[in-house]
């Protein structure tokens, strides 16, 4: 038998084996049995010594060609098997995608704060600065500078908590406005969010602790129209483009003229419903042109500057917004309530 | 304030329907809280004449009557009232009638006799005795006047009326009366106003000075005191129309004289008082401050001890009444009263308010003086009262008045440029129109060179400055015409302040970690503070206290957020929320530290609580560490000191500068019990200010080294009491900058490592900054790390 015949036989045998092979191990065995140190093809190369010297180069070339051919075959088969094995593994790894597992929980801010963020977003966008001040406040800032001198009857209406004769739990965030007017020069555009206190017994719509957001603008030639424009922008941003404001005459010691502001009921969009008692409007905030006396007391020349102020009850708009019927829920902290505000 | 629409319509026509009238008034500043149709509950009840009245054959008390109600045939009605008899005029509820309590009258049969209606008592019709005299429940109401049969009884009782409940703004006490509302109504509807012309018929002889003298000692608190005397007083019931008006306003009719004083108060807003002059000692009225240790018995029979601060109405000897608040018992009007003195005065708002508050008396009169009664219109009201005496023939008005009014109030005079008003309101109103509006509101106005020269009416004490005039104009030019304009002028840069943006950051981080924000009141009680078990010297034991708290539970300002958070945890645990993460962000109030203005220092604080599920000390610590890491805060952990925490499971984070940033740990079982919590609750309280003070501002980022990292694992056995934190710190220090990170990946306790021992396995991540580490460098570093651990008695496991 010649080497050529042997090569053909080795090749055919290997092809047959490859056809049978189904695992990488089998493939490795085949590789060793043919190409390994003791393999059939290696044996042929070793036997080259017995071939006449002049034939050796040609013979060597044939064997090497065969080796390359068989190596390629093996590699190809190996790829094929790997692919198959991967497919099987992937099949085995299939998951029950419906099996329930732990879900990482994402918490939430207080509903008040959700609304506060929207409100501040609106006003900072209009060029308002957020300013805060102390919650325990001097009578001077909480009342006197706001045209509520000692023994003014409106102070009774405010149901003030007193710490001593000169110190109160602020009844509104207006003292922050007074402080700002004293420390800054116009133009002033600020919003003052914060906690305020009134001696109200706790029930579904009253709380001794609640939050306000007050706004103040002081500049030359500020009009009540500018106030309406600003509040219109606020109403539309928070509740939608179809919402309008309605101003009604009112009275506050720190503004003149003063207005109570109703918004189109955002439940029925003005058609009239239970929430707005059929009127199509909801009372939302109080506002007005800053009383010139307040400007003067706060060191601002009322002949040169005018301004407006408004005050929004955060709890009120939050309750309206989410249909919360009982204010106490907001101060109870029950997770079943808090989890609803995402 | 309740006003009868019939009464109002005497002075101004109201042609709109109720709803349109209400909305017009609201839009001009006079709020309407409600409207009540007085006759809504009494329908189809008419005057009937009992024609015949016979005993019922099958009853010992029923009667069979025939009653003429003005229809073709008289009605047969069975009636059980003892006072029914033929010839009487009585109220008849016909079939189909409605009585108060939604009681419908139907055809019926009583002991075999058909009955077509019901004869009514006053109680059945909701008519109080003082509105129409009757025997009440004991029998039928019997009409004494000769009303035509068939007349609707609502007309007789004044129930064909609507009572409007007006909400008067605090600056408009002048509107707290029929005349005030009539003035606003006339302006709002542009309707004619016709207030009565006041004339008093005096009886001809003598003078008031023969009957009484008045001295005002404190003219500061009594700015005006006017009096009139009426003799030959004829005390009698008031006429029906007067009783109707008082009833509609929610007042009881007493007798003609007392009713006149109440009528005047409702009509003009001036509280009045009538004295029985014969009971006023020395016929002398003295207005003075009380004397210490004086006492007073008021009309309602209560005795009050006086302090010397109250303004009193006195006779020659003793106080007889609290000025503007309540009269005295002694000089009360009785059936026998023959001579009276009418008082109409103006008392100081603040003094009235303080006295009423101090003595705990609040009357319609004190309420009005507190809100402000104009001295300027006192005489008008007094004269109107005397006119009523004439009209009701209740006595003879003695000639002359006493009027002590040393400092007459001057009406406010202002010059207001038309342009000022338009610039303020944003609504362009011509000067002429402004003049028309103001005149309608009883101002005197002269328009010259586009400036309004205005004199306010005497009753308008709220008009002080130009801005007030702009409001008057705007109210009637219409708030609905205010345009919506944008802000003009220099643009400003808006933005969050630091505190708010800090809160937003913390909230976002905590949301991401599954925590929910809760809010508690800012109050605390001493009892709850005691439950925290702070050391005796702890400042948190001494909160800022409220002088007038709602109750003990809310008497102080919180010195820690935890009391509130514990309450919230307890609420949740009891409510079945078995696991959870909550937090609160808010101020606590320092009981000692004061600001430059001497206000209590408010500390911005965060409290977190976690419980249930997989929560433990480490999960809470992880949350705090995550926040600190995110903010670039470097702090070491130390043993905690809070008594309300488990002594072996409490810690504090201390910043490099020594500031304590937070306390955290498991709640002490005793604390848990006191606050009704599960003791597997972990809490922390953190100073937001300290946290952000230590936060590293993002400046330059560090370079990223491209050299390969080498990972080595080391496991040691050591005493269980050894703290791993310091071991790792020491290893880190020993290796210098070659050790990038050290991580604990396993802790094991068990028989394999021996009693009281633990095995801890660390992963070291090493990296050369400029060059790849050589094998020798790596080994040297690892050796140093092992040496460092060995200092703690740790033995390397092979």
Min distance A160 CA to chain B CA atoms (Å):
8
From the CA atom positions of chain B, what is the Rg in Å? 42
Q: Residue B293: inside a domain, yes or no?
A: yes
Note whether B561 and B641 are same-domain residues. Answer: yes
Contact B480 A246 (CB under 8 A): yes
Q: Count of CB contacts below 8 A, A vs B?
A: 252
Q: What count of other Cβ atoms lies within 10 Å of the Cβ of residue B733?
A: 12
Nearest Cα to Cα of residue B36 among B172, B211, B162: B162
Residue B287 sits in the same domain as residue B335: yes
Residue A157 has what pLDDT?
Answer: 62
The two three-digit tokens of residue B568, written as one number: 């919230």
Last residue of a domain, one of B386, B404, B422: B404
Q: What percent of chain A has pLDDT over 90?
A: 58
Structure tokens at B228: 């009139």
Q: Does position A247 have pLDDT exceeding 70, yes or no?
A: yes
**Minimal C-alpha gap between A330 and chain B (Å):** 7
- Selecting from A129, A153, A330 the residue whose C-beta is nearest the C-beta of B371 gives A153
The structure tokens listed for B405 are 């009014």
What are the backbone angles phi and psi of residue A340, rounded to the nearest 5°?
Answer: -85, -5
Confidence of residue A158 (pLDDT cuts 50, 70, 90): low
Domain assignment present for B641: yes
Looking up residue B768, the CATH number of its domain turns out to be: 3.30.70.380
Q: Where are the domains of chain A?
A: 3-92, 111-338
Tokens of A180: 């700002």
Based on the fold, state whether residues B664 and B753 are members of the same structural domain: no
pLDDT grade for B399, boundaries at 50, 70 and 90: very high
A33: buried, middle or exposed (CB in 10 Å: 19+, 13-18, 0-12)?
A: middle
Is residue B195 domain-resident? no
Let me know if residue B701 belongs to a domain.
no
Q: Per-residue pLDDT tens for B135-168?
A: 777 789 999 888 999 999 999 998 999 999 999 9
User: What is the distance of C-alpha B100 from the center of its chain?
Assistant: 33
Write the pLDDT tens digit of every residue in B741-770. 999 999 999 888 888 999 999 999 999 888
Residue A64 pLDDT greater than 90, yes or no:
no
3-state secondary structure of B751: helix
Residue of B nearest to A132 (CA): B497
Q: What is the DSSP letter of A158?
A: T
Cα angle value A289/A293/A295 (rounded, 5°)? 65
Contact B228, B285 (CB under 8 A): no
Residue A166, token pair as written in the block: 């000169």
Total-model pTM? 0.86
CB contact under 8 A, A151 and B521: no
CATH classification of the domain holding B300: 3.50.40.10
Q: Say whether both B551 and B632 belong to one domain.
A: yes
H-helix or E-strand spanning residue B383: helix B378-392
Interface test with B, best of A132, A139, A203, A257 (most B CBs within 10 A): A257
The rounded distance, in Å, linking the Cα atoms of B138 and B121 is 8
What are the beta bridge partners of residue B580? B611
Q: What is the ipTM of this complex?
A: 0.86
Higher pLDDT, A153 or A202: A202
Residues of A in contact with B595 (CB under 8 A): 134
Tokens of B196: 């009565």
**Cβ(B285)–Cβ(B227) under 8 Å?**
yes
| Mean pLDDT computed over B441-450 | 95
Q: What's the CATH code, domain A111-338? A: 3.30.930.10
Name the pairing type of β-strands B757-767 and B709-719: antiparallel
Q: Does residue B97 have a pLDDT over 60?
A: yes
**For B424, which of A129, A164, A223 is closest by C-beta distance?**
A223
Is residue A11 less than 8 Å (CB to CB) from chain B? no
- Tens digits of residue pLDDT in A104-119: 999 999 999 999 999 9
Q: In 3-state terms, what secondary structure has residue B603? A: strand
CA distance B416 to B422: 11
- Counting DSSP H helices and E strands in chain A, the numbers are 12, 10
B306 and B455 share one domain = no
End-to-end CA distance of chain A: 85
**pLDDT for the residue B364:** 92
The interface residues of chain A toward chain B in range 243-282, judged by CB-CB distance below 8 A, are: 246-251, 253, 256-259
Q: Is the pLDDT of residue B366 over 80?
A: yes
DSSP β-bridge partners for residue B452: B416, B447
Is residue A155 predicted with pLDDT exceeding 80? Answer: no
B467 and A291: CB-CB below 8 Å?
A: yes
Q: Which of B84-88, B322-326, B683-687, B697-701: highest mean pLDDT?
A: B683-687
Task: For residue B22, tell me if it sits in a domain.
Answer: yes
Residues B257 and B397 in one domain: yes
Nearest CA in chain B to A332: B568
The pairing of beta strand A255-264 with beta strand B108-110: unpaired
Place of tokens 């050894």: B722
Q: Looking at the domain assignment, is residue B719 inside a domain?
A: yes
Q: Which residues fall within 8 angstroms of residue B421, CB to CB, at 6 or more apart?
A: B429, B434, B452, B466, B469, B470, B473, B474
Partners of B311 in beta bridges: B289
Distance CA B156, CA B145 (A): 10
Token pair belonging to A220:
């030359």
**In the predicted model, is pLDDT for residue B216 greater than 60?**
yes
Strands B63-68 and A188-197: unpaired
Our measurement of the distance from residue A66's CA atom to the centroid of its chain's CA atoms, rounded to an integer in Å, reads 67
Interchain pair A224, B425: CB under 8 A: yes
What is the per-residue DSSP string for B481-536? G-------SS----B--HHHHHHHHHHHHHHHTT-EE----SEE-HHHHHHHT--T
Q: Nearest-CA residue of chain B relative to A157?
A: B170
Q: Which of A187, A199, A224 sits opposite B492 (nearest CB)?
A: A187
pLDDT reported for residue B699: 73
**Residue of A157, A248, A331 lying closest to B520 (CB–CB):** A331
Of A154 and A323, the one with more pLDDT: A323
Q: For chain B, how far is it from start to end, CA to CA, in angstroms? A: 93
Q: Is residue B194 part of a domain?
A: no
Angstrom distance (rounded) from CA A137 to CA A157: 18
Distance from CA of A137 to the nearest CA of B (A): 7
Q: What is the rounded distance in angstroms from the CA atom of residue A206 to the CA atom of residue A208?
A: 7
- Is residue A337 within 8 angstroms of chain B, CB to CB? no
pLDDT averaged over chain B?
93
Residues B573, B567: contact at Cβ < 8 Å?
Answer: no
Question: With 70 as the cut, is the pLDDT of residue A160 above it?
Answer: yes
Q: Which residues of A touch B562 (CB under 8 A)?
A: none
Label residue A48 by pLDDT band (50, 70, 90): confident
How far B259 CA lies from chain A's nearest CA (Å)?
29
Which tokens is A297 given?
A: 């007391």
Interface membership of A102 toward B (CB under 8 Å):
no
Average pLDDT over residues B543-572: 95
Give CA angle at A237 (A234, A238), nearest 5°. 85
Contact B479 A249 (CB under 8 A): yes
Signed CA dihedral, A312, A315, A318, A324: sign only? negative
Do B272 and B393 sit in the same domain of this protein? yes
Quick one: angle between helices B256-268 and B240-248, nearest 10? Answer: 50
Contact B198, B380 (CB under 8 A): yes
Q: Kindly list the distances between the CA atom of residue B440 and the CA atoms of B11, B182, B429, B437, B460, in Å, as whole numbers in the listed order.
A: 15, 12, 16, 5, 14
A169: contact with B, CB 8 A cutoff = yes
**Dihedral pair phi/psi, residue B170, rounded to 5°:** -60, -25
- Name the residue among A135, A219, A251 with its Cβ closest to that of B602: A135
pLDDT for res B513: 97
Is the predicted pLDDT of residue B493 greater than 60, yes or no? yes
Chain A, residues 50-79, CB within 8 A of chain B, namely none
The answer to whether residues A286 and A214 touch, using CB atoms and an 8 Å cutoff, is no
Sign of CA dihedral B70, B71, B73, B77: negative
Sequence-ordered alpha helix ranges (H) in B533-642: 562-574, 617-631
HEC profile for B263-303?
Answer: HHHHHHCCCEEEEEHHHCHHHEEEEEECCCCCEEEECCCCE
Where in the sequence is the domain holding B75, given as residue range(s)? 43-157
- How far, in Å, CA of B566 to CA of B488, rounded? 50
Q: Which residues 197-236 of A have a C-beta within 8 angstroms of B?
A: 197, 199, 201, 207-209, 217, 219-230, 232
pLDDT-based confidence at residue B282 (cuts at 50, 70, 90): very high
User: Would residue B698 count as lying in a domain?
Assistant: no
Residue B363 sits in the same domain as residue B286: yes
With CB atoms and an 8 Å threshold, state whether A225 touches B353.
no
Same domain, B516 and B642: yes
* Pair B468, B420 in one domain: yes
β-pair type (B516-517, B580-594) = parallel
Q: How confident is the model at residue B697 (pLDDT cuts 50, 70, 90)?
A: confident
Cβ-Cβ contacts under 8 Å for A142 (sequence gap 6 or more): A160, A168, A170, A171, A172, A174, A175
Q: How far is CA A147 from CA A285, A292, B189, B629, in A?
A: 20, 10, 33, 48
Q: What's the pLDDT score for residue A150?
A: 81
Instruction: Measure B507 CA to nearest chain A CA, in Å.
Output: 6
At B600-647, the pLDDT tens digits run: 999 999 999 999 989 999 999 999 999 999 999 999 999 999 999 999
C-alpha distance from residue B491 to each of A126, A181, A219, A266, B26 (Å): 9, 18, 11, 31, 36
Same domain flag for B393 and B257: yes
For residue A1, what pLDDT is reported? Answer: 52
Rounded Cα–Cα distance for residues A105 and B511 (Å): 9
Cβ-contact B77, B119 below 8 angstroms:
yes
Same-domain status, B177 and B298: no
Of B28, B170, B519, the CB nearest to A153: B170
Rg over CA atoms, chain A: 43
Q: How far apart are CA A128 and CA A131, in angstroms?
A: 9
Residue B395 pLDDT level (bands cut at 50, 70, 90): very high
SS3 for B115-151 is ECEEECCHHHHCCCCCCCCCCHHHCCCCCCCCCCCCC
| Higher pLDDT, residue A58 or A335 | A335
What are phi and psi for residue B739, nearest 5 degrees? -85, 110
Q: What is the pLDDT of residue A55?
A: 80
**CB pair distance less than 8 Å for B491 and A127:** yes
Please state the domain count of chain B. 6
Residue B745: phi and psi, rounded to 5, are -115, -5
Q: pLDDT > 70: what percent of chain B? A: 100
Let me know: does A191 contact A311? Beta carbons within 8 Å: no
Residue B578: give its domain's CATH number: 3.30.930.10
CB contact under 8 A, A126 and B487: yes
Identify the bridge partners of residue B50 per DSSP, sorted by sequence position: B67
Position B273 scores a pLDDT of 94
What CA–CA distance (Å, rounded) separates B406 from B375? Answer: 11
Cβ contact (<8 Å) for A209 and B581?
A: no
* Among candidates A132, A161, A223 on the partner chain, residue whose Cβ is nearest the Cβ of B548: A161
Q: What is the mean pLDDT of residues B494-519?
A: 96
């Amino acid at each position: 038998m010649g080497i050529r015949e042997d090569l053909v036989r080795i090749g055919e045998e290997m092809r047959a084996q490859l056809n049978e092979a189904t695992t990488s191990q089998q493939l490795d065995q085949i590789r060793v049995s043919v190409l390994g140190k003791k393999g059939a093809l290696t044996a042929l190369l070793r036997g080259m010594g017995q071939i006449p010297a002049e034939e050796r180069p040609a013979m060597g070339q044939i064997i090497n060609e065969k080796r390359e051919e068989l190596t390629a075959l093996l590699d190809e088969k190996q790829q094929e098997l790997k692919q198959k094995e991967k497919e099987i593994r992937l099949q085995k790894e299939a998951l029950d995608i419906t099996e329930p597992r732990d879900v990482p929980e994402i918490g939430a801010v207080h509903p008040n704060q959700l609304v506060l963020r929207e409100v501040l977003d609106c006003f900072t966008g209009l060029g308002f600065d957020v300013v805060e001040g102390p919650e325990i406040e001097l009578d001077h800032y909480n009342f006197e500078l706001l045209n509520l001198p000692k023994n003014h009857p409106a102070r009774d209406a405010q149901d003030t908590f007193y710490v001593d004769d000169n110190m109160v739990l602020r009844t509104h965030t207006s003292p922050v406005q007074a402080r700002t007017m004293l420390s800054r020069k116009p133009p002033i555009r600020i919003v003052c969010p914060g906690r305020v206190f009134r001696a109200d017994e706790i029930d579904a719509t009253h709380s001794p602790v609640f939050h306000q957001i007050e706004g103040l603008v002081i500049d030359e030639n500020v009009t009540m129209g500018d106030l309406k424009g600003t509040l219109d922008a606020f109403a539309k941003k928070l509740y939608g483009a179809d919402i309008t404001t309605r101003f009604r005459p009112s009275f506050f010691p720190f503004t003149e003229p003063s207005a109570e502001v109703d918004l189109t009921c955002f439940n029925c969009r003005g058609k009239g419903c239970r929430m707005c008692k059929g009127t199509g409007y909801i009372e939302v905030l109080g506002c007005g042109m800053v009383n010139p006396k307040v400007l003067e007391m706060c060191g601002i020349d009322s002949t040169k500057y005018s301004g407006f102020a408004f005050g929004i009850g955060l709890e009120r708009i939050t309750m309206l917004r989410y249909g919360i019927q009982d204010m106490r829920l907001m101060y109870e902290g029950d997770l079943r309530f808090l989890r609803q505000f995402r | 304030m309740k006003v009868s629409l019939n009464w109002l319509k005497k002075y101004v026509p109201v042609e709109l329907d109720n709803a349109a009238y209400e909305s017009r008034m609201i839009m001009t500043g006079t709020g309407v809280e409600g409207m009540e149709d007085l006759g809504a509950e009494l329908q189809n009840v008419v005057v009937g004449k009992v024609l015949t009245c016979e005993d019922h054959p099958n009853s010992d008390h029923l009667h069979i009557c025939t009653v003429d109600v003005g229809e073709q045939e008289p009605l047969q009605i069975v009636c059980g009232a003892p006072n029914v008899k033929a010839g009487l005029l009585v109220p008849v509820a016909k079939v189909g009638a409605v009585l108060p309590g939604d009681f419908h009258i139907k055809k019926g049969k009583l002991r075999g006799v058909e009955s077509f209606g019901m004869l009514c008592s006053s109680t059945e019709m909701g008519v109080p005795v003082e509105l129409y005299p009757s025997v009440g429940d004991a029998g039928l109401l019997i009409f004494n006047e000769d009303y035509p049969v068939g007349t609707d009884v609502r007309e007789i009782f004044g129930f064909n009326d609507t009572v409007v409940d007006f909400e008067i703004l605090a600056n408009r006490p002048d509107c707290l009366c029929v005349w005030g509302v009539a003035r606003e109504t006339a302006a709002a509807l542009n309707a004619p106003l016709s207030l009565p012309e006041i004339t008093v018929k005096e009886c001809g002889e003598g003078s008031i000075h023969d009957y009484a003298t008045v001295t005002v000692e404190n003219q500061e608190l009594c700015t005006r005191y006017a009096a009139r005397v009426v003799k030959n007083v004829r005390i009698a019931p008031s006429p029906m129309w007067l009783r109707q008006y008082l009833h509609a306003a929610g007042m009881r009719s007493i007798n003609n004289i007392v009713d006149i004083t109440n009528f005047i108060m409702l009509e003009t807003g001036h509280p009045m008082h009538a004295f029985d002059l014969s009971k006023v000692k020395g016929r002398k009225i003295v207005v003075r401050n009380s004397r210490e240790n004086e006492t007073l018995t008021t009309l309602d029979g209560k005795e009050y001890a006086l302090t010397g601060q109250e303004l009193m109405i006195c006779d020659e000897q003793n106080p007889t009444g609290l000025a503007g608040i309540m009269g005295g018992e002694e000089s009360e009007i009785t059936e026998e009263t023959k001579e009276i003195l009418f008082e109409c005065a103006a008392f100081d708002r603040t003094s009235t308010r303080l006295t009423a508050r101090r003595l705990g008396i609040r009357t319609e009169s004190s309420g009005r003086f507190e809100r402000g009664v104009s001295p300027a219109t006192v005489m008008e009201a007094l004269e109107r009262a005397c006119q009523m005496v004439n009209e009701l023939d209740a006595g003879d008005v003695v000639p002359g008045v006493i009027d002590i009014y040393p400092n007459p109030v001057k009406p406010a005079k202002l010059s207001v440029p038309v342009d000022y008003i338009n610039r303020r309101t944003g609504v362009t109103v011509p000067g002429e129109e402004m003049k028309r509006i103001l005149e309608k509101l009883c101002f005197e106005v002269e328009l010259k060179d586009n400036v309004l020269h205005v004199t306010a009416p005497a009753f308008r004490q709220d008009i002080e400055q130009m801005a007030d005039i702009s409001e008057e104009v705007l109210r009637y030019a219409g708030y609905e015409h205010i345009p919506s304009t944008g802000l003009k002028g220099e643009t400003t840069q808006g933005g969050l302040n630091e505190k708010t943006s800090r809160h937003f950051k913390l909230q976002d981080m905590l949301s991401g970690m599954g925590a929910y924000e809760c809010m508690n009141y800012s109050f605390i009680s001493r009892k709850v503070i005691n439950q925290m078990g702070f050391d005796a010297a702890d400042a948190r034991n001494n909160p800022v206290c409220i002088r007038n708290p709602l109750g003990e539970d809310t008497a102080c300002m919180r010195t820690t957020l935890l009391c509130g958070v514990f309450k919230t945890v307890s609420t949740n645990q009891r409510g079945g929320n078995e696991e959870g993460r909550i937090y609160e962000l808010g101020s606590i109030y320092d009981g000692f530290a004061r600001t430059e203005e001497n206000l209590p220092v408010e500390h911005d604080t965060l409290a977190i609580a976690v419980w249930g599920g997989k929560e433990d000390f480490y999960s809470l610590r992880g949350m705090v560490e995550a926040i600190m890491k995110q903010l670039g805060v470097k702090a070491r952990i130390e043993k905690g000191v809070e008594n309300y925490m488990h002594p072996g499971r409490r810690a504090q984070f201390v910043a490099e500068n020594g500031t304590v940033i937070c306390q955290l740990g498991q709640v002490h079982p005793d604390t848990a019990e006191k606050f009704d919590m599960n003791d597997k609750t972990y809490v922390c309280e953190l100073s937001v200010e300290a946290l952000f003070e230590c936060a590293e501002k993002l400046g330059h980022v560090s370079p990223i080294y491209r050299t390969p990292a080498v990972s080595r694992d080391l496991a040691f056995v050591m005493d269980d009491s050894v703290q791993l934190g310091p071991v790792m710190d020491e290893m880190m220090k020993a290796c210098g900058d070659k050790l990038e990170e050290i991580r604990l990946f396993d802790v094991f306790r068990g028989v394999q490592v021996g009693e009281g021992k633990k095995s801890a396995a660390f992963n070291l991540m090493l990296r050369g900054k400029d060059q790849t580490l050589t094998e020798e460098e790596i080994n040297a570093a690892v050796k140093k790390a092992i040496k460092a651990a060995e200092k703690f008695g740790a033995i390397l496991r092979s």
